[in-house]
Amino acid sequence: MNPVSQALTVLCWIVIALAISPMVWLIFQPCLKGWSRAERRATDLLRDTLTPEQFRQLSWRGYLEIPSPTAPQRIYRVPRSRGYVQVVENGHAVMRLCLQPVEYLPDADMVVLHKLMIEANEETYLQKANKYLCID
């Protein structure tokens, strides 16, 4: 093998490693952190609830985009870990939402909670959430 083909081979392996590392991290994170049984079950539920594309998006971007069932131009960006849900309309952030359960839930369960609430009854979700307008 000449040096150019060796360099291309190494570069290809680096690209492949970078491409799969977020998913590998999400899969092995419970073991590395010593997560509790509830957190492991929450991660399993998250994987079962999301489509493969949604799971990839959550892994890569750090948030899950959920289209609004009632407003076609609206998208909810639910973060992978605790934080505000961002509401994006026509490509611009218009507000942030804060909605927390009374008792502790693992981060993975929080993503599932937001997803199911938005898809099941967006109006009630918006009524219950604390709203913070984004001003440009």
Q: What is the pLDDT of residues 74-88, one digit of tens each?
A: 999 999 988 999 999
Q: If we measure between CA atoms, which residue out of 94, 95, 98, 101 comes closest to residue 84? A: 98
Please indicate, yes or no, whether the overall pTM of this predicted structure exceeds 0.75. Answer: no
By the 8 A CB rule, do 108 and 40 touch?
no
- pLDDT bin (cut points 50, 70, 90) of residue 62 is very high
pLDDT given for residue 3 in this prediction:
82
pLDDT given for residue 103 in this prediction:
87
pLDDT given for residue 29 in this prediction:
67
Residues above pLDDT 90, as percent of the chain: 56
Partners of 86 in the β-ladder: 77, 96
CA distances from 67 to 21, 27, 42, 64, 75 (A): 27, 26, 23, 10, 4
pLDDT over 90 (residue 95): yes
Instruction: Give the number of other Cβ atoms within 10 Å of residue 8's Cβ.
Output: 12
Q: What is the pLDDT of residues 8-58, one digit of tens each?
A: 888 888 888 778 877 777 776 666 555 577 788 888 899 999 999 999 999
Residue 49, φ and ψ in degrees, nearest 5: -80, -35
Domain ranges of the chain: 35-133
- Cα 47 to Cα 52: distance, rounded to the nearest angstrom: 8
Which residues, 6+ apart, have CB-to-CB distance to 7 below 8 Å?
none
